[in-house]
Chain A
Amino acid sequence: MSPLSSSRANPNDWPLFMASCAEAARDPRLRRFFAAGGPAPETPIGQASLVALDLETTGLDPGRHGIVSIGVLPFSLRRIRLSEKRYWVLNPPRTLTEKSVTLHRITHSEIASAPDLDDILDELLAVLAGRLAVVHYRNIERSFLDSAVRARLRERLMFPVIDTMQLEARLHRRRRWAWAKRLSGRKPLSIRLHESRQRYHLPPYPGHHALGDALATAELLQAQIANHYHPETPVGELWS
């Protein structure tokens, strides 16, 4: 049984999973990352070291598309510190599609001179190490990073995340009667980043920039905890 599937069965096994990965990892960068671990499941969210993470990609399929940029912003429930922001433009091995170029406001020449993920992996993992990642829609961030690392190092990169989109889904999609509302033809609430932020009266930010979206995600988590959880809520109830 792979460590990954065991973690899925019981989310509180993330520390165990990380520890076993640390032993198994061959690449020293990955080994250091896994060894740093992360908060224990019972850690209150108010005391956890968090890091907002956002990727912009050339498409939605990790098998066919590449990472164009990465935005990372360490934060806590109390404060998001812009001074600690990190941002990288990457040169993805797969060619960019025209659509994504307009989407990300990054030009071909910027990308042509950009490094490969492998070149910045050390710096990226150093920021992520020991912190609990926060993303909006984990299927992008986690899958793309995993897939990119696998292609380069033939190793897995998997870690726990708090997915703010999933938290919104829990609130609005999985409640009782949600199915009845759907049946009655009412449009389900959007749980996309921009629309989710609006529900908490957060200001509109221009989207589709990895750092901007990381900031937007971090603010959204602060708002979600303030409105629906508590600083004492254990991270184990939030991550996945």
Chain B
Amino acid sequence: MDIELLEIRDHLGRFAPFDHLSDVLLDAVVSQIEVSYFKAGSEILARDQETHELCYIRSGAVEMFRRSGSLYNRLSEGDIFGYSDLLRNKHVRFPVRAIEDTLIYFIPERIFERLCEEDDAFADFVEAGGSRLKMTVEQQRRESDMMMTRVRKLINRRPATIEAGASLQHAAQRMTDQGTTSVLVLSEPGEDWLRNFTDAQGHEWRLAGILTDRDFCTRVLAAGITPDTPVSEVMTEELLTVQSDESVYEAMLCMLRSNVHHLPVLHRRRPIGLLHLSDIVRYETHSSLYLVSNIFNQSSDKGLARLSADVRAAFVQLVAEGATSQMIGRALSTIGRSFTRRLLELGEARLGPPPVPYSFMALGSMARDEQTIITDQDNALVLDDRFEPGQHDDYFAALAKFVSDGLDACGYSYCKGDIMATNPRWRQPLRVWKEYFSTWIEEPNPKRLLDSSIFFDLDSVHGEEAFVEQLQDLVAEKASRSPLFLAAMARNARNRTPPLGFFRTFVMENDGKHNNSINLKRRGTAPLVDLIRVHAMACGSRSQNTFNRLDDIAAAKLLPEGVSDRLRYAFEFISMVRIRHQVLDIEAEREPDNNIEPENVSSSDRHHLKDAFEALSHAQKFLKFRYSTSSKSSLS
């Protein structure tokens, strides 16, 4: 390829979807490009004109308009347009105008078709709507980083050590005291300097060998060796070690190759830890489960508070392992529920058994199994109908305060809207809750609708699950038969709209205005949750989780074909972008939040986010049409 065309090729190769093309295909594109200059303000594609080219913006910026004349999109360097027309009927749907002096590279239709045929990633990218998101979402799921994580991340304590002259019994005692399955054996520094090291106290040692619990079985007991024999006579002298900056993957391969379960981890020549095969297994699959078991082992609220840092670590690790937003949401909700349940157990231990049965109820994201790393507490108490305020409320007020304070100390900050069991209004017997919910559904007003959107994601965390189940049943039955309520909820679900997309380093709003950042929860996941909840209530679903609700909606055939899948991918994608940005914040030691700045959004993520926003926007419009009150309510 000629040098000057290499420059064009390099430019294309920096932007999606060309960034993944093979060199052969990229050359084929470049050699067929046609170039044209458009002055600011001039028309590039007119509505309904025939089109047989894909358009690539080499420099400048363009705007696309809807039939109504409203702004559809604003694009700049490296963006493409015209592909949906090529896939549709080869006529321009959204006219395009240059808003700056613009240089366009036109790629002929036959090359576009060849790219679609020969490169699946390219085809997925340009195919309208859901499938592009689908591909990305599924690809993210497969990417794991066991290759990237360094061994030192798995080391959380110093290795147990013993001097070579000590007795086997002494060694066994030390392993028991420290709760380890192996011990490193140290001796005076020797000739073999590679094994010599200086410990933290400045003492010189030689790493002489290792002794494991397995050795006690095979070399001590089975061989009839007495407990007073020196360690040095039984230990394994041939040591396999791993450097602390090697990958977990390498360490695992090393263990599997040599069939060892213990691997000393060295920093240069100094042992800093002992890796057991189970550490890797735990890291790979179970770290959030270990956290949960650790939560239940705590005997005080202070002990629980100390675990709050582990929540972030588990979160970061889940993301690093390529977990989906659903897995992450469930893991974090399980952790949150475990904190809550353990605090209730500790509270009961302190205050005595409850005077009447109760259910401690989680609301909002925890009830939906969709918690992220930044979350406040939303909870309430549903009490047995035998509850007598004068007699019993002191107990439940104290229990609620203990749990709420404890959760705050664990990183689940107090709810700003006071939706907590500490609020007497939200600490009521079951019959009062039924009255609340019935009134909200039968006579909606703005305040009640707001409460509904929080309280109608509900689940029992601890105590009498049946109480909360009765409330879930009530909502499922009543809401589906209340068109006025559904219409009001649908109206509310359209309050928060997504932006149009991104333009350079800005978030672009529907009116073309620019913002510096976007709150992905407020403008993405929350409105999706809201609108999916409306459909779920309409089909009488009892599910709380957004993905499960989508399954119920699809089964009820409430939405046009394919729509619930589009919403699923949109929800997953926006959730993952939000989660990945929170991980970036944590890793950069910033306080994580829900905001993302466009300059930190990759070129392909921009396209996918635009698709996801569009899916949300369409779904909000459909909501208006589906649950309009005007005709239906007047008939009923």
A: residues with CB less than 8 A from B are: 71, 78-83, 85, 87, 105, 200-203, 205-206, 209, 211-213, 215, 218-219, 222-223, 226-227
Chain B contact residues (Cβ within 8 angstroms of A): what range?
20 to 34
1/0 per residue B1-19: CB within 8 Å of A? Answer: 0111101100000000000
B65 within 8 A of A: no
Separation of A222 and B106 alpha carbons in the complex (Å): 15
Q: Return chain B residues, CB-CB under 8 Å to A105.
A: 3
| Chain A residue at minimum C-beta to C-beta distance from B30 | A82
Separation of A204 and B39 alpha carbons in the complex (Å): 17
**A-B contact list, 6 entries, CB within 8 Å:** A80-B35, A105-B3, A200-B101, A211-B2, A211-B3, A226-B38
Q: Are the C-beta atoms of B59 and A222 separated by less than 8 Å?
A: no
Q: Are the C-beta atoms of B2 and A203 separated by less than 8 Å?
A: no
| Chain B residue at minimum C-beta to C-beta distance from A207 | B4
Contact among B32, B34, B37 for A202, CB-based, below 8 A: B37
Q: Are the C-beta atoms of B7 and A212 separated by less than 8 Å?
A: yes
Q: Which of B21-69 contact A (CB under 8 A)?
A: 30-39, 42, 58-60
Q: Return chain B residues, CB-CB under 8 Å to A219.
A: 35, 37, 103
Contact among B4, B33, B42 for A209, CB-based, below 8 A: B4
Q: Are the C-beta atoms of A82 and B31 separated by less than 8 Å?
A: yes
The binding surface of chain B is classed by DSSP as: mixed
B100 within 8 A of A: yes
| Chain B residue at minimum C-beta to C-beta distance from A203 | B59
Q: Are the C-beta atoms of A78 and B36 separated by less than 8 Å?
A: yes
Separation of A87 and B2 alpha carbons in the complex (Å): 9
Separation of A209 and B2 alpha carbons in the complex (Å): 9
Q: Are the C-beta atoms of A82 and B42 separated by less than 8 Å?
A: no
Q: Given A201-B101, A203-B59, A203-B103, are A82 and B35 also a contact pair (CB < 8 Å)? A: yes
Q: Return chain A residues, CB-CB under 8 Å to B59.
A: 201-203
| Chain A residue at minimum C-beta to C-beta distance from B53 | A79
Separation of A226 and B34 alpha carbons in the complex (Å): 17
Q: Given A203-B58, A205-B4, A205-B7, are A223 and B35 also a contact pair (CB < 8 Å)? A: no
Q: Are the C-beta atoms of A226 and B33 separated by less than 8 Å?
A: no
Q: Return chain A residues, CB-CB under 8 Å to B35.
A: 79-80, 82, 215, 218-219
Q: Are the C-beta atoms of A200 and B37 separated by less than 8 Å?
A: yes
- Would you give the shortest CB distance from B46 to chain A, in whole angstroms? 14
Summed over the interface, the residue pairs from A and B with CB atoms below 8 Å come to a total of 69
Separation of A77 and B562 alpha carbons in the complex (Å): 45
Q: Are the C-beta atoms of A226 and B37 separated by less than 8 Å?
A: yes
Q: Which of B54-89 contact A (CB under 8 A)?
A: 58-60
Q: Are the C-beta atoms of B4 and A79 separated by less than 8 Å?
A: no
Q: Return chain A residues, CB-CB under 8 Å to B34.
A: 79-82
Q: Are the C-beta atoms of B3 and A201 separated by less than 8 Å?
A: no
Q: Return chain B residues, CB-CB under 8 Å to A80.
A: 34-36
For the complex with contacts A79-B34, A222-B36, 11 further pairs of A-B residues with Cβ separation under 8 Å are A79-B106, A85-B2, A201-B59, A201-B60, A202-B103, A209-B3, A211-B2, A218-B35, A223-B39, A226-B42, A227-B39
Q: Are the C-beta atoms of B31 and A226 separated by less than 8 Å?
A: no
1/0 per residue B101-126: CB within 8 Å of A? Answer: 10100100000000000000000000
Separation of A135 and B3 alpha carbons in the complex (Å): 20
Q: Given A201-B59, A219-B103, are A226 and B39 also a contact pair (CB < 8 Å)? A: yes
> Closest 3 A-B residue pairs measured CB to CB?
A212-B4, A201-B101, A222-B37
- Would you give the shortest CB distance from A240 to chain B, in whole angstroms? 22
Q: Return chain A residues, CB-CB under 8 Å to B100.
A: 201
| Chain A residue at minimum C-beta to C-beta distance from B39 | A226
- Would you give the shortest CB distance from A148 to chain B, in whole angstroms? 22
Q: Which of B408-459 contact A (CB under 8 A)?
A: none
- Would you give the shortest CB distance from B130 to chain A, in whole angstroms? 34
Q: Return chain A residues, CB-CB under 8 Å to B37.
A: 200, 202, 219, 222-223, 226
| Chain B residue at minimum C-beta to C-beta distance from A210 | B4
- Would you give the shortest CB distance from A82 to chain B, in whole angstroms? 5
Separation of A221 and B3 alpha carbons in the complex (Å): 22
- Would you give the shortest CB distance from A221 to chain B, in whole angstroms? 9
- Would you give the shortest CB distance from A42 to chain B, in whole angstroms? 24
Q: Return chain B residues, CB-CB under 8 Å to A78.
A: 36
| Chain A residue at minimum C-beta to C-beta distance from B77 | A203
| Chain B residue at minimum C-beta to C-beta distance from A202 | B103
1/0 per residue B134-157: CB within 8 Å of A? Answer: 000000000000000000000000
| Interface core residue of A82, A202, A205, A227 (most chain B CB under 10 Å) | A82
| Chain A residue at minimum C-beta to C-beta distance from B37 | A222
Separation of A226 and B98 alpha carbons in the complex (Å): 13
Q: Return chain B residues, CB-CB under 8 Å to A82.
A: 5, 8, 30-35
Q: Return chain A residues, CB-CB under 8 Å to B42.
A: 226
Separation of A227 and B31 alpha carbons in the complex (Å): 28
| Chain B residue at minimum C-beta to C-beta distance from A73 | B35
Separation of A215 and B100 alpha carbons in the complex (Å): 21
Q: Return chain B residues, CB-CB under 8 Å to A227.
A: 39
Separation of A211 and B103 alpha carbons in the complex (Å): 18
Q: Return chain B residues, CB-CB under 8 Å to A85.
A: 2, 5
Separation of A105 and B101 alpha carbons in the complex (Å): 31
Q: Return chain A residues, CB-CB under 8 Å to B8.
A: 82
Q: Return chain B residues, CB-CB under 8 Å to A203.
A: 58-59, 103
- Would you give the shortest CB distance from B79 to chain A, in whole angstroms? 14
Separation of A218 and B36 alpha carbons in the complex (Å): 9
Separation of A218 and B100 alpha carbons in the complex (Å): 19
Q: Return chain B residues, CB-CB under 8 Å to A206.
A: 3-4, 7
| Chain A residue at minimum C-beta to C-beta distance from B38 | A226
- Would you give the shortest CB distance from B37 to chain A, in whole angstroms? 4
Q: Return chain B residues, CB-CB under 8 Å to A200.
A: 37, 101
- Would you give the shortest CB distance from A195 to chain B, in whole angstroms? 15
| Chain A residue at minimum C-beta to C-beta distance from B101 | A201
Separation of A203 and B102 alpha carbons in the complex (Å): 9
Separation of A201 and B59 alpha carbons in the complex (Å): 8
- Would you give the shortest CB distance from B52 to chain A, in whole angstroms? 13
Separation of A211 and B3 alpha carbons in the complex (Å): 9
Q: Return chain B residues, CB-CB under 8 Å to A209.
A: 2-4
| Chain B residue at minimum C-beta to C-beta distance from A201 | B101
Q: Return chain B residues, CB-CB under 8 Å to A202.
A: 37, 59, 101, 103
Separation of A205 and B11 alpha carbons in the complex (Å): 11
Contact among A83, A211, A222 for B4, CB-based, below 8 A: A211
| Chain B residue at minimum C-beta to C-beta distance from A80 | B35
| Chain B residue at minimum C-beta to C-beta distance from A205 | B7
| Interface core residue of B4, B36, B39, B103 (most chain A CB under 10 Å) | B4
- Would you give the shortest CB distance from B330 to chain A, in whole angstroms? 48
| Chain B residue at minimum C-beta to C-beta distance from A219 | B37
Separation of A46 and B14 alpha carbons in the complex (Å): 33
Separation of A223 and B59 alpha carbons in the complex (Å): 13
Q: Return chain A residues, CB-CB under 8 Å to B3.
A: 105, 206, 209, 211-212
Q: Return chain A residues, CB-CB under 8 Å to B7.
A: 205-206, 212
Separation of A83 and B36 alpha carbons in the complex (Å): 14
Q: Are the C-beta atoms of A79 and B58 separated by less than 8 Å?
A: no
- Would you give the shortest CB distance from A173 to chain B, in whole angstroms? 22
- Would you give the shortest CB distance from A85 to chain B, in whole angstroms? 8
Q: Return chain B residues, CB-CB under 8 Å to A81.
A: 34
Q: Return chain A residues, CB-CB under 8 Å to B60.
A: 201
Q: Return chain A residues, CB-CB under 8 Å to B36.
A: 78-80, 222
| Chain A residue at minimum C-beta to C-beta distance from B33 | A82
Separation of A223 and B39 alpha carbons in the complex (Å): 7
Q: Return chain A residues, CB-CB under 8 Å to B33.
A: 82
